[in-house]
Amino acid sequence: MDAVAIQNNIQTSELIGLIPAGGLATRISPLPCSKELYPIGLQELRGEQGLRPKVVCHYLLEKMKLAGVAKAYIVLREGKWDIPSYFRNGAIVDMHISYLVLSLPFGTPFTIDEAYPFVRQSVVAFGFPDMLFRPDDAFVQLRSQLDSSGASVLLGLFPAQEPKKVDMVDIKDGRVLRIIVKPSSTNLIYTWGIALWTPVFTEFMHDFVNVRKARSATQPEINVGNVIQAAIEAGLEVEASPVSSEPYLDIGTSEGLAMALRTSGLDNV
């Protein structure tokens, strides 16, 4: 398939949300619920009077919907049944939501690869359900860029608050040169927090995960940044663009959760 045909296919492909929710939340345990359902802020639901708590994952789904995502897959760890119990079929966010259960707990790439048969021909909108970020149109920005890009992966960049704890992105003229996972020191300023990718990268990740399955039980967990770096080394085009001037907030840490509650005012409720 030539470049024009590939680009036309991307522009007409369905955009599907993909959300990993297989973590154990060990950094903020114990919790009364899955961390993806922790209430942060308030919302007014259609057809109801008054306000109700708004769970953290709701924010991510809303931002995906603004970019045209009508269907999303949430990949769960066994036992986190409160998530499908809460979101059900997705009507609460005016989307169609389906659920998958991970089989190999070796890192986020293994988690999201569970959705491979269902997203392999689509453009994927990817985000973490325990992150809060602005602006609301972050995925919209990426979607408009991907439509005119030849990239297999397009990353949404945020200023990094703690480079030692995240994937740092080395970028030049919009092209990602490398991903450095949790560097001990760096002059880089951006990390990535959201992404869009094409079936080319979905296939690459699927193959990458399959190669590592046999030995992953004896090796450290891998993250999506590791796979993106491998894709760059394999010659795939990875691009990135700042989508926010503010760092994202990770409520999966005790500090991030406390800050989110202070900002929302729910720490006083």
132 has a pLDDT exceeding 60: yes
What's the pLDDT score for residue 258?
A: 85
Identify any residues that bridge with 170 across adjacent strands, giving them in sequence order: 178
CATH class of the domain whose range is 3-149+194-214+249-268: alpha beta
3-class secondary structure, 71: strand
pLDDT band at residue 196 using 50, 70 and 90 as cut-offs: very high
Average pLDDT value for residue range 169-197:
97
Phi, psi of 162 (to 5 degrees): -135, 85
What's the pLDDT score for residue 181?
A: 95
Q: Looking at the whole model, is its pTM more than 0.85?
A: yes
3-class secondary structure, 149: coil
Could you tell me the CA-to-CA distances from 24 to 33, 74, 84, 163, 267 in Å, in that order? Answer: 11, 15, 17, 23, 23
Distance from the Cα of residue 116 to its chain's centroid: 15
pLDDT band at residue 1 using 50, 70 and 90 as cut-offs: very low
Under 8 Å CB-to-CB from 33, ≥6 apart: which residues?
Answer: 82
Whole-angstrom distance, CA of residue 234 vs CA of residue 187: 25
Residue extents of the structural domains in the chain: 3-149+194-214+249-268
Sign of CA dihedral 69, 70, 75, 78: positive
Structure tokens that stand for 141 in this block? 């920005």
Q: Give the residue from 144, 147, 138, 123 showing the smallest Cα distance to 201.
A: 123
Give pLDDT tens digits for 56-106: 999 999 999 999 999 999 999 999 999 999 999 999 999 999 999 998 888
pLDDT band at residue 4 using 50, 70 and 90 as cut-offs: very low
CB 87 within 8 A of CB 93: yes
Give pLDDT tens digits for 202-234: 999 999 999 988 776 677 889 999 999 999 999
CB 133 within 8 A of CB 244: yes
Q: Give the residue from 156, 150, 139, 135 showing the smallest Cα distance to 246.
A: 135
Average pLDDT value for residue range 169-174:
97
